Structure 1
Amino acid sequence: MAQGQLIFISGGVRSGKSAYAESVVRAAGSARKVYIASGQAYDEEMKKRIERHRLDRFQDGWHTIEQAYRMESVLEKLQPEDMVLWDCVTTWLANELYEGWETGNMCADQPGCMEEKWNGLQQSILAMLHTVDLLTVVSNEVLDDFVRDELYQSWLGRIHIWLVQQADQAIEMENGLAFRRK
């Protein structure tokens, strides 16, 4: 089976990681550019932001897949040779880990729930790499995120370690500058 290239880009909030990731995908080729967006509209302001970003990407030639949960659902929407940008791991993790918070029945509190989601994510990423030419994954740094929860940070660290191990390139962003770590 062919293997697509995996690029992992991490950085602090406002480090320029998303803009850099977009430039990497644009420069990679002329195939379809796909943006996997993990954000959710919890209120009217966020709904407007998501719609504005979707429109901006569309005008720039991107195909957007809104996927806040269950990355395996993305697979059927991808085409061979796609250049894919997933922004971002941290939003997906918060969505999955705290799913059910409104009912008091969070995944984080259910034995094995997050392990199942993590296994699904790993399998989804590996399957994407056998379909697309490029998968660029963006994430915030483990200790530089809005969530100051040890469980969240532990899962994010675990995901980062695996992504770096799988990646063809691992890049850390600081103040708009890219530093290749792998």
Structure 2
Amino acid sequence: MKPVRSLARALLSGIFLASGVQQLRNPAHFTAQAKPVTDRVTPLLEQAGGALPSDAETLVRANGAAQVAGGLMLATGHFTRPAALLLAGSLVPTTLAGHPFWTADDPAARMNQQVHFLKNLGLLGGLLLAAADTQGRPSLRWRAGHRIGHSRRSVQRAVRTARRETRLAVRTAAAARRLPG
């Protein structure tokens, strides 16, 4: 299954690498499309203390950098679950800004944008699967439950052993009192 996982992650990351590089090279091309989304996000960023950039071009560059970093991590198999979550997070504003089919008046343009919007939803589904993939290893929930069960059994064994040894000690002490001496 590992070769299939590796191939799937490499194929899934390709669109993010290409898109991220384009956003980094030419952010002005994407800024006009991103403006409606960045205008909604800007007040939230300013409330965060102004430490985060709020202009559209910088946000486009940051999104591109996130896509390149996440795409590289996903493709190489390093930190795949966080990388998939990072890419999923960057895909949501990209989809909303890049493919607002509900605003298109021309039926052909509307259909084209809707197809791309649905394609991005499919990518989002693939990223969520990649984020949930434990690569054949037990999940953290299972491992934690298994450890708790193992610890509980160990404590029960220790309690039984302590009771048994206490009974033996009491019997030995009672027998020692009965001996003449």
TM-score grouping bracket, smaller chain normalisation = under 0.3
Between 1 and 2, higher relative CO (CA 8 Å, sep ≥ 6) is seen in 1
Give 1 or 2: higher strand fraction. 1
The higher radius of gyration belongs to: 2
Q: In proportion to residue count, which structure has more helix?
A: 2
TM-score of the two chains, using structure 2 as the length reference: 0.27
TM-score (normalised: structure 1)? 0.27
